[in-house]
Amino acid sequence: ENKDILNALQNYEMTFGTSENIFNGGLLTDAERDFVMRDSNAFLFGLIADQSVKAETAWSLPYKLAQRLGHFSMQKIAKESSSEKIGTLLRTKPALHRYPGNMGRYLWSAAERLTSEYDGCAENIWGNVTAMEIVERLEAFSGISHKKASLACLLLWRDLGVEISDKENIDIAYDVHIRRIFLRAGFCEKDTLKDVTEAARRLNPKFPGYLTSPFWALGRNICRPTEPLCGQCPIRPFCARRLDKTENLRA
C-alpha cells in the first residue's frame, strides 16, 4: 500500500509542477527569489520567518528587509542594530510579518550567531555535513523548530544543490497541512511531532522528507481545514476520512 500511496503522490506532483515550489513557482518575484537562492543568509532569514504567515510572505521578507536596511550584512545587523530596530522595520507598513516583535528578536539573534559562530555566512552551517548535523545546528537558532530544520534540509537538497547523503535522516516537516492529512487519513493516531514523523518514516523510509512537498500542496489546495475536496484527492483510496480528528487542530 505504501508504494501505491507514493505513486499517487508522485503523479499528483506532476499535476502542479513547480507552481507550489517557493523557489521555482510563481510565489515570489524574480528579485525576491534570486535573493534567497543566491544569499545563504537570506535563505536562513526566510526559513526563520516561515511561521504563522503564508510561505510567500515569509520568503519575500529577506529581500524586503534588506531594502529597508539598505544592506544585508550580518556583522552590521549584529553590531549596529538591535532586535527592537529590526522589529520596527518589520512593523512599518506594509508590515513584513504578522509578529514583528518576535521575528525581530529571532532575526537579530540569528545575525549575532552567524557572526560569532559561522563567520557571518549561513552556508557554513550546511557545508560538508550530514542531515542530522544540519538539523542540530539549525535548531540552535532561536525561531527554528525541528519542522523548519527538516524543511531546510529538503530545500537545500532539492532546490539549492547541497549534497546530503543521509536523506533517510531528513524528516517530514511537522506542518499544519501535513498534520491534518496524516490524522484524517489514519496514517497516525495523535497530533504530535513524534507520531507524524514516525508515520512518514514508515511511508517512505529512504527519504521521509520527500513527502513534505506533495502533502503540503495537497493540504493547502485539496485537504483543506473546511470543505475538503475529497473527490479530487489522489490518495482518497487510502484515506480513512476521519475528519473529526482535526476539528480542534491548530497551527
Return the pLDDT at 112: 98
Statement: residue 251 has pLDDT above 70: no
Q: From residue 80, give the alpha-carbon distance in Å to each of 86, 104, 122, 229, 246.
A: 11, 14, 19, 50, 46
Quickly count: other Cβ atoms within 10 Å of residue 47's Cβ: 25
Q: What is the mean pLDDT of the chain?
A: 94
In which residue ranges of the chain is CATH 1.10.1670.10 found?
Answer: 2-19+170-246
Please write the tens of the pLDDT for every residue from 61-70: 999 999 999 9
Per the listing, cell 504563522 goes with 52
Please write the tens of the pLDDT for every residue from 182-238: 999 999 999 999 999 999 999 999 999 999 999 999 999 999 999 999 999 999 999
pTM of the model: 0.84
Domain 2-19+170-246 belongs to what topology?
Answer: Endonuclease Iii, domain 2 (1.10.1670)
Does the N-terminal peptide bond of residue 94 adopt cis geometry, omega within 30 degrees of 0?
yes
Domain 30-125 belongs to what topology?
Answer: Endonuclease III; domain 1 (1.10.340)
Statement: residue 26 has pLDDT above 90: no
83-91 and 55-69 helices, crossing angle to 10°: 110
In which residue ranges of the chain is CATH 1.10.340 found?
Answer: 30-125
